[in-house]
């Protein structure tokens, strides 16, 4: 049974509480940002609802009756506990870590190097990155947002909001030492992880023969770029992941065309969001 069913309307209680605190209808109206007539009417309506006089006029001020003083004490205690409970909830939510799921490569190459800038602008907001190649159910797994690479033709769902961040072409890269061997890309080893197989259709689009490629299995997709930097083989990845390595000369781009373009997007569960989540989502939009 609802505890609200037998209570007077909250607007009446708020008007009386403000009047009891302020000592006048006019001042209570200023506190509530309504006219003093509206406050007077609400208090009189509350008296009618309860069948008892709560205030008496005393010039421009009001005085509480015995019944009014008792109700004022009860409301002060009740509203005080509500206020404390809401403050505690807000404080807990403000301290709660922003949980983000994304790929290892995006976390390592694009987000982690820039995180100090976010923390400088938003001190006290904790962020936990959970690298995973899997597409997770954000609400069920307790994540606040995800950064995903989406194929063309993606659509929003009823449960998730999608905000595109950038479009990045897939490129072929290798270490300068491997390029210096003079091998044609067709004859180079190609690094692969057991959980991510080179898309044969994509490779075929570059003019290479997928059936004749020599593949290097490194056991984990997380090690692919490291193996590529060490010269163990060429690899494909989005330009945004390779950008820092290309600029630093650790990787060079192979002259292969026909690879696709990937849309990186921010994915958020629909529904109310904490200010910390909105702040991090806005920061991500700015850095991509």
CATH of domain 98-159+270-287: 3.40.190.10
On whether the CB atoms of residues 126 and 93 are closer than 8 A, the answer is: no
| pLDDT at residue 151, as a whole number | 73
Q: For residue 20, what are its two tokens? A: 């009891």
Say if 10-94 and 98-159+270-287 have the same CATH topology. Answer: no
| pLDDT at residue 157, as a whole number | 75
Q: Angle CA(115)–CA(117)–CA(119) in degrees, nearest 5? A: 70
Burial class from Cβ neighbours inside 10 Å (0-12, 13-18, 19+) for residue 191 reads buried
Task: Tell me the domain boundaries of the chain.
Answer: 10-94, 98-159+270-287, 169-262
| pLDDT at residue 223, as a whole number | 84
Asked if pLDDT for residue 9 goes beyond 60, the answer is yes
State the pairing for strand pair 189-192/160-174: unpaired
Q: How far apart are the first and last CA of the chain?
A: 51
Chain mean position to CA 63: 50
Overall fold of domain 10-94: Arc Repressor Mutant, subunit A (1.10.10)
**What class does CATH assign to 169-262?**
alpha beta
Percent of the chain with pLDDT over 70: 93
Asked if pLDDT for residue 253 goes beyond 90, the answer is yes
Give the per-residue SS3 of 135-187: CCCHHHHCCCEEEEEECCCCCCCCCEEEEEEEEEEEEEEECHHHHCCCCCHHH
Distance CA 243, CA 173 (A): 11
Q: How do residues 22-65 score in pLDDT, each as one tens digit?
A: 999 999 999 999 998 999 999 999 999 999 999 998 778 899 99
Q: Pick from 88-92, 216-220, 231-235 the range whose average pLDDT is largest.
A: 231-235
| pLDDT at residue 15, as a whole number | 92
């Amino acid at each position: 049974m609802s505890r609200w069913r037998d209570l007077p309307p909250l607007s009446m209680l708020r008007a009386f509480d403000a009047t009891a605190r302020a000592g006048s209808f006019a001042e209570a109206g200023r506190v509530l940002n309504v006219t003093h007539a509206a406050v007077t009417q609400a208090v009189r309506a509350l008296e009618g609802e309860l069948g008892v006089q709560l205030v008496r006029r005393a010039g421009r001020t009001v005085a509480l009756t015995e019944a009014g003083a008792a109700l004022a004490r009860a409301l002060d205690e009740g509203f005080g506990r509500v206020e404390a409970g809401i403050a505690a909830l807000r404080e807990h939510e403000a301290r709660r870590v922003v949980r983000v799921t994304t790929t290892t490569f995006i976390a390592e190459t694009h987000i982690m190097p820039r995180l100090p800038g976010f923390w400088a602008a938003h001190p006290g907001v904790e962020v936990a990155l959970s690298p995973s190649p899997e597409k997770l159910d954000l609400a069920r797994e307790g994540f606040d947002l995800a950064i995903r690479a989406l194929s063309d033709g993606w659509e929003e769902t009823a449960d998730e909001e999608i905000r595109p961040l950038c479009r990045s072409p897939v490129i072929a890269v290798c270490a300068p030492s491997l390029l210096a061997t003079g091998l044609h890309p067709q004859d180079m080893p190609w690094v692969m992880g057991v959980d991510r197989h080179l898309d044969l259709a994509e490779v075929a689009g570059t003019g290479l023969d997928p059936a004749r490629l020599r593949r290097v299995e490194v056991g984990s997709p997380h090690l692919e770029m490291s193996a590529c930097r060490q010269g163990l083989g060429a690899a494909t990845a989005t330009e945004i992941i390779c950008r820092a390595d290309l600029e630093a000369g650790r990787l060079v781009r192979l002259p292969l065309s026909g690879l696709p373009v990937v849309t990186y997007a921010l994915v958020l569960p629909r529904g109310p969001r904490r200010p910390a989540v909105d702040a991090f989502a806005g920061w991500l939009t700015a850095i991509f």
